[in-house]
Structure 1
Amino acid sequence: MKKGGKIIVFSVLVAIVYSCSVKKDAFLNRSYHAVTTKYNVLFNGEQAYLKGLEEIQEKHEDNFWKRLQIEPITFDESTIDAKVLTPGTGFNAGEEDEENKNLTPFEKAEEKAVKAIQTHSMNINGYEKNSQIDDAYLLLGKSRYYTQRFIPALEAFNYVIVNYPKANLNYETRIWRAKANIRLGNEKRAIQTLRLLLDVLDETEKIGKSTKEQAYTAMAMAYEQTDTIQKVVDYLKLATTTNYNKEQTARNMFVLGQVYSELDRKDSARMVFKKLAESRRAPDRFRIRAEIEYAKNTPNDSASIVVLARMKKLIKNTDNRKFLNALYYQAGVLEEGRNNQEKAAEYYKRSLQAKHNNNYQKTYAYERLADMAFEKEDYLLAGSYYDSVMQVVSKEFDQEKRIRRIRRKNKGLTALRKYEETVKNNDSILQLVAMTSDERTSFFESYIEKIKKEDEEKQQQLLNAQNFGNSFGGGASINSSANKGKWYFYNTQALNFGRGEFQKVWGTRPLEDNWRLSDKSINTIDNTLANTEETKVNTRYQLSTYIDAIPTDEQTITNLVLERNDALYQLGLIYKEQFINHTLAIKNLERLREVSADDKLELPISYHLYQIYKEQGDLVKSNEYKNTILQKYPETTFAQIIKNPDVKLVVEKKEDEILNKYKEVYYLYKENKFEEAVNEIDNFSSTLQNSNLIPKFALLKALAIGKYQDKETYKKALEFVAVSYATTEEGKKAKEIIEQLNKT
């Protein structure tokens, strides 16, 4: 190499080494470190940061049934502990080691920011000479913010604000600092910071519109945490005027409309949602949801017809397939508002069947269907829909007020379904018990013929379906070379058709000698054993299968009657007390009065029917049951209530005296003096009236009887408690014991 060339190379190397120094305030040094920071370390850090933002957006799911978050972040409290990047991170490690580190995108961005600061910072005499370091600190703070480390993030933001007061990112950093304070619960400090930025600094330095938009959004976030709703409205309105960030602007408009709706300012809400729905810059999910919210805030008048037509138009648009669940649901709500119940139910079912769906949306559709069935007094169907709500609701919303209400309502419907099923099943069995032998035979012969015919039709449908498939190739193309042979068994189409015709006549037969014979008794013993399964008669077609299942034991039949009667009584109470359905309450109680031979039931049945008919204004029926109670049971509590409905009953014994007596009898019970305990209760009950402890005495007496008398006497005592005090805990306990006794 010539001497001149060597000098040039040496000079370049010296210049590079000289420019690498962070202690010299020279143009070459400043330029080198600024360029290296921006286009090497920070570039990689910003790319990792953007990747992290994409992951957050994908992870976050907006629930449009609730007020949306102004800042769409789903923070996971379980991952709040992030890796701490200590000084020196990024040194003494090769590129291969960096790639193998198990860091999240935000942690990688933080690592690059730390590396940029520690490698390229040029702090000379207290002044930073590298113009990119403020960017590095901002990236560091934002990365920490998204990893929920808000205090370290504040440190980074404060460093920029204090040390780089004239940096072009100073205003943006102040906004990020305010957001970190909001996340830490320091809303007042955040508001003060943002007011300083918007009121004071804007007057002197004229802040850009994009920065103002971010500041207004942050201010709305702060006031939302303090529940100052009007201030939230004011700043959201300001944040939606510039429209620099179309995603955030659409979100702000949607939240603004939701707030108006919550404040019952329906006109303002419709105006905002209409503007958002017609905005071409807004993302599709906000535009379509704005259409739905517009419909929700439209009154049920002539305007709803136009909105419904708009909903149907959106449904027909194939671009909106991702939103069909919500569109179908809202169309159903509008149809229901116009009293088109059948169309509404159809839309709700379509909403449930939509391909793109979520469980929370399903809870509303199931609830609407359940409410419609409940209003039609189809309680069994309503119960099944409420069950569906409870099955699809997630733990996140399990304790929501609406879900708790549905759970309470469904509890009564579950009991109702149970009792209705008991009445239906026991009535069917008792009906068969009451038939003569000839009537039973005739009934089940007709039933067997019916199921035989149904089975034959199903089998024929299967064969037809098989033949239909076989006629189109049966898995091989009709035009394939396999179908071109002249011999029968070379032609797939003809072979499949022939197989289908054979099975129609003969069914499925094994490949063996004498395949036409159903009875193989003439064959060898081996053949007989081999074909046992083929010759076995279907028990569903045997008369004895059903006749033998009919109970003949008197005790079993008695238990069926008691279960049926108890179910009728419980149904009467549920319809009367819970569902306020007097028609069905009367139906069950009147029927129980007809079929029951137990005199103990007459008093409670008569009293409940007296109350129902009195509320209905049927004085004839009401007086009939009133007279029954007064004439047959004049000393009972029911009779006293009827005689003196407006006068508080006078209790001869004080409640504490009664409680002391109960403790004495209970002590006798615990000392195994059961007969003595029963006698004490009998003697005391003649003077015991209108006390809340009466059911306790009754249950204690039944339990004592069970200790020294036979099972039947014990059950009768329990049945008295279960019927007389059905709505109390003692009555329910007695019923549980009866059920256990019936199982043994």
Structure 2
Amino acid sequence: MENQLQMLIRPLWIELPMCVLRQGHGCKMLFPILNMHAYLKHIAAGMFIVLLCTGCSSKRNTPATRAWHELTTRYNIYFNAEEAYNEALKSITESHIDNYQTWLPMYPNSADPNDTVVKQPGGPFDRVVEKMTTAIQEHSITAKPRRDPAQPNTQEYRDWLRQNEFNPFIDRAWLLMGKAHVQNKDYTEAISVLSYTVRLFAYDIDVVSEAQIWMMRAYTEMGWFSDAEGLALTLQVRRLPKDLHDKFTEFYALLLIRQEKYRDALPFLIQTVKSEKSGIQKRRLQFLLGQVYAHLGERENAYNAFEQIKKLSTPYDEVFNALVAQSQVATGDGEIIGELQKMAENKKNSAYLDRIYAAIGDVYLSRNNVEKAIENYLLAEEKSVRNGVEKALTQVTLGDIYFERKDFLKAEPRYSQALGALPRSSGNYARVEFRTDVLGELVPHMEVLARQDSLRQLAVQPDESDKIIEGELFRIGSIAKDRLGDFEFAVEVYNRHLTDFPESIRRKEVYHQLYQLYLRMGNRAMAKSLKDKIISEFPQSEYAAAMSDPDYEHVVRNYARVQDSLYQQTYLAYQQGQVETVQGNFKRAQKLFFNGHLMPKFMLLNALSLAQSGNPEQLNTALSELIQKHPGTEETKMAQQILAGLSEGKTLVANVQPFSGIDWESHIVAGNAADSVCFEKEKNLPHSLLLLFSPNSLRKNELLFAVSDFNFSNFQIRSFHTDYTYVFPYEALQIKPFRSFEEAGRYASMLAGDSIFRQNITTGIVPLVISDKNLEILRDGEPLENYISFVTNE
């Protein structure tokens, strides 16, 4: 019956793929468009009869079922998904507002490398992912067909029989799903899907190439540049169709720009601009091209690149931004200033006055006319009506000028106001954040000092003013030295302290601070003079003891690095249970870094080592000393929790040991310790499985591929989200969602029993089941060892 019905419709079906289904690949219509509906109606009727008799299950692999599932995938699901993809992309592109005073992104939905917010799964392309998941689940044909004895036994036919997928259109579903994940910024999901696509359709080099090109984009967005470069090398030697070659060129430009290889990126970016058909995207790329030229110092090419923007049916605000950008790279300074001043007088530009005056300020600053630059930056600050990024960047420039002049009272408000509006992706952000923080600490003391200096000159309560001034000078000097890193300013402040208050009780500390400063500045004569004063005037002090150490000068010159190195050694020793090493390093830290910012951490490790060696009384004493000397620190909070537990008769659980292999039984232990007040005890909550490993102990993409293969091979209906996270001091691949602890545990057991996974990933992994609530607690700073303690106390 089935063969007879297939013969009935075969003449029609042979023509249909040629005429309709392959139109997108250049085939011509072989019948008038007016007959299309009747023709499709005829086909549908024939197919309905066949499938009514044979069933349309994807478990059956016949010419009829393959034709049915291809048709349904293409026109009933993929078409709508592709429309949804294009609409979502168009909406993002048209609604995005570019900031022309910073580097433009190549794409409006590119990942922000400086964004610290944890990305939640999903986004505007979720509908596409859902539709393609449905297409694959319902229309993928993996069953092998019966061998057709009428077919010649050619190599091509044998290869066809060996393939794993027989719906000839399902590869497009996998590719579109991977692209949708990239556009959603779910990059690990995208890599999972696309890497599986590469292996599933390894026989189709074009499908493999397209998947690898989008994997290259995903790797680039994640900052996995070596993996992206590896794919780029593979693709560069492959002959690609024009559309794929253009897409490779585009994504390779992105990769080079993200690595700040601007010179290498130029030819690829130029070609991408030429190939781009979308007007909005073409203008964005053209502006980025001008920025690259400007960064490389090619002012004429930059000017011409910005000029081209005006010829692309460009809205006025983009033309204006191009004009401002041109003013910053043009060669005739006087002419530029004149043009900008004319723009300022044009009422049409009233909303852009801040940008215009900022551009004039930039020109004056480039000519080292700082006073005229300040004058125009102040005008830009005053004329700003948007109080957004533009104003923030002007304030940063003003803040920088005042900062270099050590006019910190004027610099601080500029930085602090700018920080709130400055995007994290800005190259200035980290510097502005640091200076805002430091000046926020320094400036209040400088304001008090200025006020008390005025009162002393007026002879109003001179003794009280002297006491305040002496304290403020010491605090300002310490902040200038240790936080600001301005050694000359710190020396100036400390020397005033010694001059104004020669009998101060802080004289010893001031001597030592100046000794350290002169050593770091390379003034050995002054450093020796201060050292001699400390030893002669304060022979019994801790400073004199520290200076007796033969390595002390090296320590002072490399204070932060040596202190950090000693702490890392001590922490590693503690993890490995080397109690004597921990306690020896603590004594050395006491001698050399008694005022160091890591001292609370050294004290806590020393106390915990006493717990390891079974000295509860010494542990109690050490924790109490930590609380007394360093109140308010995170280490003190932990010490208080430990003391509270000891007072209740509890024992301290030793720190977790470094991972050395796969402990697949560890997921069995849950977390319900009755005495825990920190972690959530409920098991019937959303859970995740964490595959924990030490940083740099394995290739993260190999682990991701192994988990993806396991998921796609074992879960046809259900999908999992995978992403990398950090749980100090380990990295982890997070797999979710699971509805409960037991469900996550069953998944972990299945993964443990998968021979292919265990063959690919052999060492360095510890699986840990944890509720989403408890994972958030760890991300908020609760130590992992506390969760391990919570788990093991169950």
Q: Which protein shows a greater Rg? A: 1
What TM-score does the superposition give when structure 1 sets the normalisation length?
A: 0.47
**Which of 1 and 2 has higher RCO (CA within 8 Å, sep 6+)?**
2
